[in-house]
């Protein structure tokens, strides 16, 4: 990893997987293998396990993350979890606008932008997911789609925008085994970086992660790209040897 890049950030997204015992085993295996890992590392776990994970990760080199947050501060929003609640469990990162939230829960760009505000207000780092569907890519709309998604977040968050992280996650690559080529990823990351530069003098601080079937075999080539600052990793983050291998690749 070249010295002038942002310190790589590798984030596992456990999605709706795990159990008390499986989490304990996975974390023990990860912590045992962290020697030599110098990249920033986090795992985003189901909300119900934040308490358990706060205990297991305390004092370790792995930060705690959440997968979603309510757009509301508090009140009559049954089933939702607020940003204050996340903060209570020492959550450092929160994924916002994951394609599975946009797709299955109808999250709009405006809602994502509001959620980002909530996360930033609690001093946590939102990991803002953007990405095009295969149909949008084939229609030549990739740039327009990711720019529209990020523009909503920039518009709502003004000068705080340098405090976010972005994850470029082509929808067609998430959980499918298909991966963007390193060149495809870099092309979109460069577009996002330019958009951030137009919004803030501190755009170079913003980590832009790649996500979408990243694994131990393809991580090195993706992470070698100039504007790929780390990864958001779903399936492969549930296997300790694979995730550790990727963390070590990012630490080179």
Active-site amino acid positions? 98, 169
Inter-residue contact 173 to 236 (CB < 8 Å)? no
Q: How many CB atoms lie within 10 A of CB 213?
A: 20
Residue nearest to ligand PEP (CB): 234
CA 3/CA 192 separation, integer angstroms: 21
Site for ligand PEP in 10-39 (CB under 6 A): 13, 15
Residues 141-160 that bind ligand PEP (CB under 6 A): none
Contact partners, residue 42, CB within 8 Å, separation at least 6 = 9, 10, 11, 12, 62, 63, 64, 65, 92, 93
Site string for ligand PEP, 81-100 (x = CB under 6 A): --------------------
Q: Rule CB under 6 A: is residue 169 a binding residue for ligand PEP?
A: yes
The window from 75-83, 109-117, 151-159, 228-236 that contacts ligand PEP (CB under 6 A) reads 228-236
- Determine if 107 is a binding residue for ligand PEP (CB under 6 A): no
Nearer to ligand PEP (CB atom), residue 179 or residue 186? 179
Count other Cβ atoms within 10 Å, centred on residue 142.
Answer: 20
Q: Which of residues 187-216 bind ligand PEP (CB under 6 A)?
A: 211-214
- Contacting range for ligand PEP; rule: CB under 6 A; set: 56-64, 169-177, 186-194, 197-205: 169-177
Token output for 170: 């082509």
Judge contact between 36 and 248, C-beta under 8 A: yes
Nearer CB in complex with ligand PEP: 200/215:
215
Which residue number, 230 or 235, has a Cβ lying nearer to ligand PEP? 235
239 burial via Cβ count (<10 Å: 0-12, 13-18, 19+) = middle
Q: List contacts with ligand PEP (CB under 6 A).
A: 13, 15, 169, 174-175, 211-214, 232-236
């Amino acid at each position: 990893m070249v010295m002038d890049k942002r310190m790589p950030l590798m984030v596992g997204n456990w999605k709706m997987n795990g159990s008390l015992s499986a989490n304990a085993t996975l974390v023990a295996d990860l912590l045992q293998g962290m020697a030599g890992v110098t990249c920033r590392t986090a795992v985003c776990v189901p909300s119900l396990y934040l308490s358990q994970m706060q205990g297991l990760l305390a004092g370790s080199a792995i930060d705690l993350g959440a997968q979603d947050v309510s757009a509301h501060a508090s009140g009559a929003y049954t089933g939702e979890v607020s940003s204050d609640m996340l903060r209570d469990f020492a959550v450092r990162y929160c994924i916002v606008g994951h394609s599975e939230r946009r797709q299955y829960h109808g999250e709009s760009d405006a809602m994502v932008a509001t959620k980002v505000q909530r996360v930033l207000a609690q001093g946590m780092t939102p990991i803002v997911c953007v990405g095009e569907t295969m149909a949008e890519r084939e229609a030549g709309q990739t740039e327009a789609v990711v720019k529209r998604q990020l523009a909503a977040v920039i518009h709502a968050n003004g000068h705080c925008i340098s405090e976010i992280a972005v994850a470029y996650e082509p929808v067609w690559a998430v959980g499918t085994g298909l991966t963007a080529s390193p060149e495809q990823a870099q092309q979109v990351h460069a577009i996002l970086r330019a958009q951030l530069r137009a919004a803030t003098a501190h755009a170079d601080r913003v980590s832009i992660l790649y996500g979408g079937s990243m694994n131990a075999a393809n991580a090195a080539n993706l992470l070698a790209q100039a504007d790929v600052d780390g990864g958001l990793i779903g399936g492969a983050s549930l296997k300790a040897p694979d995730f550790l291998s990727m963390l070590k690749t990012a630490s080179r």
